[in-house]
Structure 1
Amino acid sequence: MAKKVTLRSSDHKTFEVEEAVVFQSQTIKEIIQKPAVPLLAYIPLPNVRADILAKVIEYCKKQVDKSSTKKEDDAVDREDLDAEFFKVDLLTLCDLLCAANQLQIQSLLDQTSQTIADQVRSLGVF
């Protein structure tokens, strides 16, 4: 049975998530692995709303699934899933970017930044 970690969003919603999924976040990984830190009932994330945290968890689960199934046949399907994941409004993308930065999830930070840049470029602003 996989070990679970409870995360609490800024709006006080809790999420019970497998350790392998939350370890996609360097911030959470460091909190959990610090030996001097007392055991917490949950890890508070005061700057991440529940709706954004749910998206971050979804992304991290997909990353864990990707690493466990590395079939080349699935590569195109995974890219389609990634494209679907980032089909959200610009405000949500900015919130995801902030959460990825705070939680130190480099792949989410990179992909969200690229998606925002692509959207701005498509507006013809630059």
Structure 2
Amino acid sequence: MRLFGNTLSPKKTPPRKSASLSNPHNLDRSTREVALGLDYGTPTVNLVGQSLKFENGQRRAETGISGGVDRREAQRLRGRNQQLEEANNLLRLKVGVPPDMLSETAAESRLMEKEWRS
């Protein structure tokens, strides 16, 4: 006589039936996307009231603020950046001209010295 009955030896589960008759791995990509609904579209992310869309590996702002800065602030920063670039170019010119003038003056003085000695 058994104490526990059949509880220690459960019945085997029947094998699963195939979910689909066709194998999706044998289909080409476009057919798989249409048949299985795999076309998700462009990925978008919402962060702190800003909607970002990823297109061609680049992040683009759809709505809200752009990169944490509103459009007016971005325009003001672009103007300031342009002013600083112009000032930088002017300073580069001022730094580059004196050595050129010094070289020119030194060359002229050497020529005058050679003429005076001869």
Normalising by the smaller structure, the TM-score range is under 0.3
Structure with greater helix percent: 1
Structure with greater strand percent: 2
